[in-house]
Structure formats: structure tokens, C-alpha cells
């Protein structure tokens, strides 16, 4: 069961030995909390000297509220609030509390913000630009242009809104797919009864029962609770702290000392919302629900305005560039055309047409179509895309920050190896641990389950003796969080008179404390595969006395294993005579023989290593941000190759040959792993020196022991570094939500916490990094095809404007009517509607891509004017060959038709040359949809002058057959020039798209 009450106090349900001495809470990795200052009921603490940030203030307030209950004896808790009782709330009190505090609903379960999604879809820079131009056109009574532009805006907005709403509905269904019921103690008709209610109706003051029920269903908290009774309760806090191993929770029997500060995430009797029961059972009183939980404090941060991501910044800059060109070129055309023709009304209309011509009308539609197509493709990979921008942002990502637990690893405790005290492989420790775990009667912890699964999954039959029936348990000393041990007495016989085996497993220091000797693993065969357990005599002949030096060596071995990222339990045993009616207690856990260690880890996901290689090839650097220990994170990084030169040098998207050479030199030099790891406390020390902080962020690959807010700061710093880069964050816990929100692309999984899924842009229905790698490729394809359209449209439109300027200064008539110019632009734009389906050359997918206004302007200025000489050639043909030199010439429509055809066909044909940096048709081929659509549009353009009523409406007339010969030569020459310019452009700027 997942705990959704932020603070629950637990007490033992079954009689066990209470803890007499209250242990001091250890300083946690995340948040140092301060208790309230009421000296009567709880200890006071010093106030922070510096002015805290808003999130620190929220945490301090929450901690002070919890300290009021968490740092007093369990017997005092119910005296602090009127109406609270160990027998539970009355129905009337519960009803009043529900009215006061509201339903216990996670902060992420909000109504679907349909209007907000619609506003986001409408408020797009390109939509705004087109809407402004449409308004200008309707003001000048150009209804046709107005209708076309508004249609583009409506179609783009509608498609985006529909797709995002569909994804958000799917995400909301994921959040609401589970209804949880809990058992609470309520006073019904003056009698205390345990009843089952919907978890949403839990209120502060409720006494709830938490346990691992049948079939190992996990109990998850939605509230903050404080333990009032406990039986070996352990709670998994990975969603908050990133630490895989559960922590012990128990009751507080005495008041905490004044000097002891309550730590929000590291304490002994408080369970926060988002944590879950791993083993044991307890009763707890609910302290806070819903909006008053720790998750709610994080949710308040999530409600703040989200910063612009890389793609949004790029789109904004490109919009400014297009607007700037429009504002500069339109007045120039107006002045030149008005001066030459002396018809200022027509000049105004023509200038407006030029402004429209500069703007790629189809841009919002092309962008939205690209994103919609990619969303459909990615959905086939079991992914929900909540925000369209996320697809293109994936293509721009150069750094992927990932939580460790559950994303890179399987989020499961598994046996890694079984070793002796000298770190030599031996099956004996895990055999004994298996018997201990199998025969114990309490709820199995994750460690017990891992040991049992390890033996049951054995394919070699190495544990046949341990698995066979016939072992009988004669006594047990259950685990408790004070001793941190579990012992069983077992034998092969169920009758008294023989010899039994006392097997103890638990924390290394506690087990070693009770040992007087160490088992002798005599030969190499036994080191690999121990003999049958029942054949071994654990006595003086099979062991050596433990000296102080031996104990230090054992602890040193344990330290080395811990530093390798492994969690350990120690195993010890001894033979004991089996007597009738015999039982054991804690006094029997003495004079043990130390056998060895069983090491555990959270194994890597099967596809994690390959996914990291794929991301590295895509020049996406992977960094780990976790609340877990540095050693554990370092082992994961080592196993995945994150300390390797490929990952360390992959963060740069566009590198020059000198950069590549420098990167190669760096890769060949030895890397000190210690320099690549930094912890939360170390980062906290650097916050006053921003330069040192930024340098540490750039250098480190592993960020361990981070609080949620430190994860947020790291993501912000990574985005700001390197001249500004796109960063993705993959996580599934409460502690990941802020970082997910702050990243350019926030990624969560369907099994993640609700608050993480609410903050995410993308939700993976499968926990697979391979899907992320495929998403990066899809994002780059989407972005590149969009950039293709922008560069081709802008360069073509820019060239047309130059041609119009020359024509305005030379020709006494308009080279093309505004309506003809609009139709030409629409035909060209429609031909590019197939661009989302186009192929992308593989080399363009090798590095991160983003919108670059500088690159678009450079492409437009360098390529656009090269169409003008061929337009001028058409003017010359009209002037000299056909003799069309006056405004009143009846052949003016033919001249305009000739330029319409030349402009349309050159634009359409040249798509094949501009879509790739290679030789078209030979080295790179367009997709079939692009070929079909461009060919079809070319046919339509050639047919328009011959279609009755259409040619009349557009004031066109059929060209002379001889003009087509000129047209073929113009197209061939234009293609040759463009290809030559393309080669020079790539040599000069080292890029094309």
C-alpha cells in the first residue's frame, strides 16, 4: 500500500520488545528539517540564519507541524488534538474533518484543463503572425487571402488541440485507474471498530492499519502518518529519496532531546505520502492529507510558470526574424512600386501580398502535422505524448538526466553474490540465508524475497539440498529494528534428541558482534559450491576464533563491497542440541560462527546498456541524478559505461574537427571517477560560488544524495550551460517531479508517482530507455523535416521578393497579380505538406538539432537571391521575345502567366535539391509521398492557365508552346547553379539543414 498521508505515527500491533533508547535521526540527503518551538510538547530548534527560499519555508512549516507529533512520546500524541483517540475518530468528527480538509486526493488528480490546452494551442508565434496578416488583408477587402490564412490557423490549432487533449485524457485515465481502500479505526455507536473506506475519505486524526496483505500487495500512502504501534515495519522511500532499501519505522517512546532536529525524510516514526510498506505491519495516526502533504509542497512549485524550452525559444526567434523581414521588405516594395506605377492603391495591395509572400503560411500546419505524425509513430512504441513540443525537444536534447532507481535499474532487490568474509565466492552464506528466509513466519522483506527467488530460480541445481522438503523449524526470534537480526532454529528432524542449526542473518555489525569465530572454507571446491548444509558441523573444528584483527578485516571486506555499490547482510550460525518443547530468544543469539555475506543490488534493466550505447551514438550524454548513495550510483554508471570516453564526450552536438581532435585527446587520458561524482551536501557548499557551482555541474556525471530541489537546480544549471542546451529528465518519483517540470522534456512512466506523471511531457507505458533513444531519433526527424520546410519556403519567398523589387523598378506592369502570387505560394506550400513523410539522411540524425534563427537567415540570404537571375531571365523573355513592354499591352496576362509557371515549377523542382545536402536522386532520394505530391502540384500549376473560369478568375492566358522550351532550360540551369552553391555553402558553413 502506498502511503498518501504525509505523516503517520506507528505502534506495534503485536507485543514485541519496545525500543528503550530513542536513536538520533541521521542527517538525510534531502532535507534538514526544523521542529516547532513549543518546549512543552516537543523540542525547539534554531531558526536558519539566512533568509530561506520559498521552498525551504514550505518545508520548514511542514516539518514544524510534523515535529509537534513526531518528537513526543506515542502516549502524548493524542493529547495534542481534541477529538483524536487511539480508538479512532467518531463518524461525526471524521465528517467534520472531511469538510475542513477536503478529500484526500493526490495533487495531480486535477480536472482536465481543456481551455488551458486550447489557449496553448492557439498562442503560437506563427499563429499570431498569420492572424495579424489576415486582419490586414480583411481590412483591405482581400477576403480570399483572409480565408486562406485563418483556415491555416484553425487547422493547425485544431489538430494540435485534438492530439494533446487525447494524450492528456489517456494520462488522466492512468492516474485515476486505481481506487485504493484502506482500513481505519472509527468509533461507531461508541464502539471502536476497524472498517474499510475509500482512501480519499481518510482525514487527519484517523488511525489506520498498514500491512502487507495476502499476495504481497503493496500498501502505498497518500498522506503523512505517524506510527503509534509497529511490528517490524519497514517502509520503501525510493520515490522520495531514491534509496532502494526500505527503512525501519517504529514508535517513539520518549521525547526527543532539544538538540535533535527532525529530518523530514530520515526519521524513525513518520511515513510521508508517496512511500509504501515493504514489510511488517503497524497502526498509525494520520497527521496531514491532500494539500498539506510533502507532495503538495512540491506541487506548489509545479504550478509556477514553466520556463521556455529550447524549441519554444527557437520558434520565437524565427518568428521575430520573419516579422523583421516582412516589416523591412514590404515598405520597400510599396515605395518602389508606387513610385514607378503612380498607383499607390495597387502598390499598397501589392506590398501586402509581398508581406504575405515572405511569411510561410503553411508553417503552423506543417509544424503541427509533423508533430502529429511523430506522436502517432511514437504512440506505437507504447508512449503517451502530452505536449506536442516534447517531440521536437527530444530531437534537440544533448543531455539526458535520469533517476537511477526504476529507470536505469529494475527497482528490485536481487542477490548479486554470496561470499565469505574474505570476499571469496561461496554458496554457503546464501544457502543458510535461504533457510532462514524460507522458514521465518513474519512478512517477508524485499531481502527475504530476493533470497528465496534466487534459490528457486537456480538453474544448475546447486541448491537442491536447501530446497528439498524435510527442514523443520523449532524456534524463531523475529526481526526488529533494534537488533536488526532474524534467527531461526531448524533441523532435518521433527523429533527431539538430535542436533539443530541456529541460523542468524542481519546487519553486518550486529551479526559480527555476536560471533566468536569464523567458518573455515577449506578448499577451492567449497568456495564455489558448498557441501550440503546438513552435512556441515559448525563447531570448533570447522572454525577459527575471531581476533580483533579478524573483525577489522571482515569489516574492511564489507566496506569494499559497499563501495562497489552492494548492500550486504551477514550470515552466522551454530549447532545447537534439539530438546523437547525447546524455544529460542535473543539470549541464544550468542557464540555464533561467522559464515559470510550475501550481497544485493538493484540489477540493471536488460535493455539499459544497449540504450545507453544508442544514446551515446546519438551524442546524447547520460547523467544520473539520484537520492541514493554515491557508491550505488557509481556502480550503475560503471556497469553502463557512463564513465567511458564515449559518454563523457557526447554532450556536444556540433563539433568542429579541432573539437573532435581535442575530444579524442581527452578520451585517451585516464579519468578519475571521483572527479565525476558529486553529492548533494557538496553542491550545497558550492551554492555561494556560482562559478564553482557551474563548473561542478558541467564536470559531474553522477549526482548523488540530491534533494528534489537540488535535482531542480542541477537541471536548470545544465540547461544554462554550454551556451544553452536542451536537457531531458527521466524519473518516476515524487523527488523527480520538479526536475521533470524544469527540463526541456520531462519523461515519466505509467507506474510512476501521480505527481511525476502530472509534471511530465511524455509518459512511457514501458520502463525502457530504448524507447527514449527511439524518441530522440523521431524528434530529430520531426525537427529536420520542419526546418526543411522553413528554409525552403523562406529562401524561395526571399528570392521572389528580390525578383519583385527588380520588376517593380523596371517593368511598367505588375509581374504577377497579388491573387496570382497567393495561389503560387499556396501551391508551393501544399506541395510541402508531404514534408512530414520525407526521408532524412542518416548523418543528420547523429547529433542534437534545434531551431536556429541564425542558420535560417543565413540559408535564406545565401540561397534565396539565386532564383532572381532566372526570374529576370523570364522578364527578359517577356520583354524582348514577346515584346510585352507597356501596361496597356493585351499580352500582360501572358507575361504574368509565364512568370507564374516559371516560379512555380522551379520552386517545386528545386525541392529535390534543397531537401538534402547530397546529390538528389542518386545519393539521397525523397520519400514516395513527397515525389507524388510535388509532381501532382506541378501538373496542377501547368494546368491552371488552360482551365476555363479558373484562368479567367486569375487573369491568366495559356503560354505559347515555345515558352516551355525556355522553361526547361531555365529549370535545368537553376538546378545546376543551386547544386554548385550548395556545395560551396556546405564547405563554408559546415552545415546544410
Q: What are phi and psi of 694, to 5 degrees?
A: -65, -40
Please report, for residues 266, 298, 408, 605, 679, the alpha-carbon distance to residue 240 in angstroms, rounded to integers and kept in the order given.
Answer: 11, 11, 17, 21, 16
**Per-residue b/e over 322-347, b at no fewer than 16 CB within 10 Å?**
bbebbeebbeebbebbbebbeeeeeb
Which residues, listed in sequence order, are joined to residue 383 by a DSSP beta bridge? 764
- Cα–Cα distance for residue pair 30/263, rounded to 1 Å: 9
Tell which residue, 639, 638, 664, has the closest CA to residue 650.
664
Active site (annotated) includes residue 403:
yes
Q: How many helices (H) and strands (E) does the chain have?
A: 35, 26
Asked whether the beta carbons of 71 and 287 are under 8 A apart, the reply is no
- Cα–Cα distance for residue pair 275/4, rounded to 1 Å: 8
- What is the full DSSP assignment across 551-583? HHHHHHHHHHHHHTT-EEEEEEEEEEE--TT--
Please report, for residues 471, 927, 948, the alpha-carbon distance to residue 243 in angstroms, rounded to integers and kept in the order given.
Answer: 35, 49, 76
The set of residues, in sequence order, having a beta carbon less than 8 Å from that of 977 and lying 6+ positions away, is: 866
Looking at residue 46, the DSSP 8-state letter turns out to be P
Strands 567-577, 499-506: parallel, antiparallel or unpaired by DSSP?
A: antiparallel
Residue of 6, 30, 403, 448 marked catalytic = 403
Residue 236: which H helix or E strand, with range?
Answer: strand 219-236
- Cα–Cα distance for residue pair 913/507, rounded to 1 Å: 69
Vertex 153 angle, CA 149 and 158, to 5°:
145
In 10 A of CB 809, how many CB atoms?
11
Burial class (CB in 10 A: 0-12, 13-18, 19+), 634: buried
Q: What are phi and psi of 194, to 5 degrees?
A: -95, 115
Q: Cell triple for residue 279?
A: 514489510
- Cα–Cα distance for residue pair 505/436, rounded to 1 Å: 7
Tell which residue, 324, 317, 323, 316, has the closest CA to residue 129.
323
- Cα–Cα distance for residue pair 406/412, rounded to 1 Å: 8
Q: Cell triple for residue 808?
A: 517593380
**Active-site residue set:** 403
Amino acid at each position: 500500500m502506498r502511503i498518501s498521508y504525509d505523516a503517520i505515527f506507528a505502534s506495534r500491533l503485536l507485543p514485541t520488545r519496545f525500543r528503550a533508547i530513542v536513536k538520533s535521526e541521521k542527517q538525510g540527503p534531502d532535507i534538514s528539517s526544523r521542529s516547532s518551538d513549543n518546549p512543552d510538547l516537543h523540542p525547539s530548534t534554531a531558526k536558519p540564519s539566512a533568509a530561506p527560499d520559498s521552498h525551504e519555508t514550505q518545508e520548514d512549516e511542514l516539518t514544524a507541524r510534523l515535529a509537534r507529533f513526531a518528537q513526543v512520546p506515542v502516549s502524548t500524541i493524542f493529547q495534542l488534538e481534541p477529538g483524536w483517540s487511539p480508538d479512532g475518530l467518531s463518524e461525526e468528527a471524521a465528517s467534520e474533518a472531511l469538510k475542513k480538509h477536503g478529500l484526500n486526493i493526490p495533487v495531480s488528480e486535477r480536472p482536465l484543463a481543456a481551455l488551458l490546452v486550447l489557449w496553448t494551442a492557439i498562442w503560437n508565434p506563427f499563429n499570431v503572425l498569420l492572424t495579424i496578416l489576415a486582419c490586414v488583408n480583411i481590412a483591405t477587402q482581400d477576403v480570399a487571402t483572409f480565408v486562406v490564412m485563418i483556415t491555416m490557423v484553425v487547422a493547425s490549432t485544431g489538430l494540435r488541440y485534438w492530439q494533446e487533449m487525447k494524450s492528456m485524457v489517456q494520462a488522466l485515465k492512468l492516474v485515476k485507474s486505481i481506487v485504493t481502500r484502506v482500513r481505519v479505526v472509527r468509533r461507531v455507536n461508541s464502539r471502536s471498530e476497524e472498517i474499510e473506506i475509500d482512501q480519499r475519505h481518510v482525514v487527519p486524526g484517523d488511525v489506520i492499519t498498514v500491512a502487507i496483505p495476502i499476495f504481497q500487495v503493496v500498501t502505498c500512502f497518500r498522506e503523512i502518518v505517524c506510527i503509534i504501534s509497529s511490528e517490524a515495519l519497514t517502509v520503501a522511500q525510493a520515490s522520495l529519496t531514491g534509496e532502494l532499501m526500505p527503512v525501519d519505522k517504529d514508535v517513539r517512546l520518549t521525547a526527543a532531546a532539544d538538540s535533535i532536529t527532525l529530518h523530514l525524510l530520515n526519521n524513525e516514526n513518520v511515513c510521508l505520502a508517496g512511500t509504501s510498506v515493504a514489510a511488517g505491519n503497524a497502526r498509525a495516526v494520520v497527521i496531514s492529507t491532500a494539500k498539506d502533504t510533502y507532495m503538495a509542497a512540491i506541487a506548489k512549485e509545479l504550478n509556477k510558470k514553466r520556463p521556455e524550452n529550447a524549441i519554444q525559444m527557437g520558434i520565437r526567434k524565427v518568428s521575430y526574424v520573419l516579422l523583421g523581414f516582412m516589416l523591412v521588405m514590404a515598405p520597400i516594395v510599396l515605395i518602389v512600386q508606387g513610385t514607378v506605377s503612380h498607383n499607390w492603391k495597387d502598390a499598397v495591395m501589392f506590398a501586402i501580398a509581398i508581406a504575405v509572400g515572405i511569411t510561410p503560411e503553411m508553417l503552423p500546419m506543417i509544424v503541427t502535422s509533423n508533430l502529429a505524425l511523430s506522436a502517432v509513430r511514437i504512440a506505437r512504441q507504447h508512449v503517451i505524448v502530452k505536449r506536442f513540443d516534447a517531440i521536437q525537444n527530444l530531437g534537440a536534447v544533448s543531455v539526458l538526466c535520469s533517476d537511477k532507481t526504476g529507470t536505469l535499474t529494475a527497482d528490485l532487490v536481487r542477490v548479486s553474490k554470496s561470499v565469505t568474509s574474505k570476499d571469496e565466492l561461496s554458496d554457503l552464506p546464501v544457502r543458510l540465508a535461504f533457510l532462514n528466509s524460507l522458514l521465518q513466519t513474519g512478512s517477508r522483506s524485499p531481502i527475504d524475497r530476493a533470497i528465496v527467488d534466487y534459490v528457486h530460480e537456480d538453474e544448475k541445481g546447486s541448491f537442491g539440498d536447501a530446497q528439498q522438503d524435510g527442514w523443520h523449524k523449532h524456534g524463531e526470534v523475529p526481526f526488529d529494528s533494534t537488533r536488526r537480526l532474524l534467527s531461526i532454529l531448524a533441523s532435518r528432524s521433527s523429533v527431539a534428541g538430535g542436533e539443530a542449526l541456529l541460523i542468524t542473518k542481519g546487519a553486518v555489525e550486529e551479526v559480527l558482534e555476536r560471533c566468536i569465530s569464523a567458518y573455515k572454507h577449506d578448499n577451492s571446491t567449497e568456495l564455489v559450491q558448498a557441501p550440503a548444509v546438513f552435512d556441515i558441523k559448525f563447531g570448533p573444528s570447522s572454525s577459527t576464533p575471531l581476533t580483533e584483527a579478524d573483525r577489522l578485516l571482515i569489516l574492511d571486506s564489507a566496506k569494499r563491497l559497499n563501495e562497489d555499490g552492494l548492500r550486504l547482510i551477514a550470515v552466522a550460525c551454530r549447532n545447537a542440541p534439539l530438546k523437547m518443547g525447546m524455544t529460542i530468544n535473543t539470549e541464544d543469539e550468542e557464540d555464533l560462527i561467522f559464515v559470510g555475506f550475501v550481497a544485493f543490488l538493484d540489477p540493471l534493466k536488460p535493455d539499459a546498456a544497449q540504450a545507453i550505447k544508442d544514446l551515446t551514438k546519438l551524442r546524447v550524454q547520460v547523467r544520473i541524478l539520484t537520492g541514493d548513495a554515491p557508491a550505488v550510483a557509481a556502480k550503475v554508471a560503471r556497469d553502463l559505461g557512463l564513465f567511458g570516453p564515449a559518454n563523457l564526450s557526447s554532450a556536444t552536438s556540433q563539433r568542429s574537427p579541432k573539437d573532435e581532435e581535442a575530444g579524442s585527446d581527452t578520451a585517451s587520458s585516464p579519468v578519475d571517477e571521483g572527479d565525476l561524482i558529486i553529492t548533494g551536501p557538496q553542491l550545497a557548499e558550492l551554492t555561494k560560488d556560482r562559478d564553482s557551482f557551474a563548473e561542478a555541474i558541467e564536470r559531474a556525471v553522477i549526482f548523488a544524495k540530491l534533494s528534489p530541489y537540488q535535482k531542480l537546480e542541477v537541471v536548470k544549471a545544465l540547461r544554462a550551460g554550454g551556451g544553452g542546451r536542451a536537457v531531458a529528465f527521466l524519473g518516476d518519483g515524487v523527488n523527480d517531479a520538479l526536475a521533470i517540470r524544469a527540463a526541456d522534456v520531462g519523461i515519466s512512466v505509467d507506474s510512476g508517482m501521480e505527481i511525476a506523471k502530472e509534471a511530465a511531457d511524455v509518459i512511457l507505458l514501458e520502463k525502457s530507455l530504448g524507447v527514449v533513444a527511439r524518441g530522440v531519433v523521431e524528434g530529430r526527424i520531426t525537427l529536420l523535416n520542419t526546418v526543411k520546410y522553413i528554409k525552403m519556403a523562406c529562401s524561395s519567398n526571399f528570392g521572389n521578393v528580390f525578383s519583385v523589387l527588380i520588376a517593380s523598378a523596371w517593368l511598367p506592369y505588375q509581374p504577377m497579380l497579388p491573387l496570382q502570387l497567393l495561389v503560387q505560394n499556396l501551391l508551393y506550400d501544399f506541395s510541402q505538406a508531404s514534408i512530414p513523410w520525407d526521408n532524412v539522411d542518416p548523418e543528420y540524425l547523429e547529433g542534437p538539432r534545434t531551431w536556429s534563427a541564425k542558420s535560417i537567415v543565413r540559408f535564406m540570404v545565401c540561397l534565396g537571391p539565386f532564383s532572381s537571375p532566372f526570374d529576370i531571365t523570364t522578364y527578359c523573355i517577356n520583354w524582348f521575345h514577346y515584346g510585352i513592354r507597356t501596361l496597356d499591352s493585351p499580352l500582360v496576362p501572358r507575361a504574368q502567366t509565364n512568370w507564374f509557371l516559371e516560379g512555380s515549377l522551379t520552386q517545386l523542382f528545386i525541392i529535390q535539391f534543397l531537401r538534402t545536402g547530397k546529390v538528389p536522386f542518386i545519393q539521397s532520394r525523397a520519400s514516395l509521398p513527397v515525389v507524388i505530391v510535388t509532381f501532382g502540384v506541378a501538373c496542377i500549376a501547368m494546368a491552371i492557365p488552360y482551365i476555363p473560369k479558373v484562368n479567367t478568375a486569375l487573369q491568366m492566358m495559356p503560354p505559347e508552346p515555345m515558352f516551355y522550351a525556355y522553361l526547361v532550360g531555365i529549370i535545368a540551369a537553376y538546378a545546376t547553379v543551386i547544386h554548385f552553391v550548395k556545395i560551396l555553402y556546405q564547405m563554408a558553413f559546415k552545415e546544410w539543414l
